Structure 1
């Protein structure tokens, strides 16, 4: 299955989840998303998401000077971002539960009930 369309719908959630525990700069966030299993995530998509979340107040940013190369812009989650993350996480769990039920179908629930 092509995950590109699925990823577009959940990239905000994934980025907020990645920066929830530790601030990060753009490429570091891309790397963490890829290490977490989103191998097909594009750099441009993540950078656009970071800018959008920052503009919405879900992320804060600050610049850290670097002695070897350009300064890095770090992003951290704000209280607004934590609220958004909690809401989207709950929405995701509810949606994935519904979809699991559709994919499993009524036969799977009948079979599970018979074996219980």
Structure 2
């Protein structure tokens, strides 16, 4: 992944993870696998785990410890009401930015 892609991804990864959790709760490794299935192949597990900890601290998810056959219990993250509100705001912001970028890309100067 190029430097430009990496930098853009840093700014949107939280929204991407929240959008993924809105579809189905996940634990860390599962989240990484789902992101990779969606084409985000260069995202490191450590990045995802750090992000999950941050969104938990920010109160955007509920966490349930679920027994695992292969070791300690897994922390399964599920979007809560505050997380859904935050995700809705992310999509509004994304829509605004993508519309402006599309306008710039096509050389139109619409305000």
Corresponding residue SS for 1:65: strand
- Structure 2: unaligned runs, 5 residues or longer: none
What does 1:80-91 correspond to in 2, within 5 Å? Answer: 80-91=82-93
1:57: Cα distance to partner?
0.5
Total equivalences in the alignment? 108
- Structure 1: unaligned runs, 5 residues or longer: 110-116
- The farther-off stretch of 13-22 and 38-47 is 38-47
1:42: Cα distance to partner?
1.6
Counterpart in 1 of 2:60? 58
* Structure with greater Cα Rg: 1
What does 1:25-64 correspond to in 2, within 5 Å? Answer: 25-64=27-66
| TM-score, normalised relative to structure 1 | 0.86
RMSD of aligned residue pairs (Cα, Å):
1.7
Counterpart in 1 of 2:77? 75
Segments of 4+ in structure 1 off by > 3 A? none
| TM-score, normalised relative to structure 2 | 0.89
Counterpart in 2 of 1:24? 26
Structure 2 distance, partners of 1:7, 1:78, is 23
Structure 1 distance, partners of 2:95, 2:41, is 22
The answer on whether the counterparts of 1:7 and 1:41 sit within 8 Å (CA) in structure 2 is no
Identify the structure with the greater helix proportion: 1
Structure 2 distance, partners of 1:36, 1:68, is 26
- The farther-off stretch of 85-94 and 41-50 is 41-50
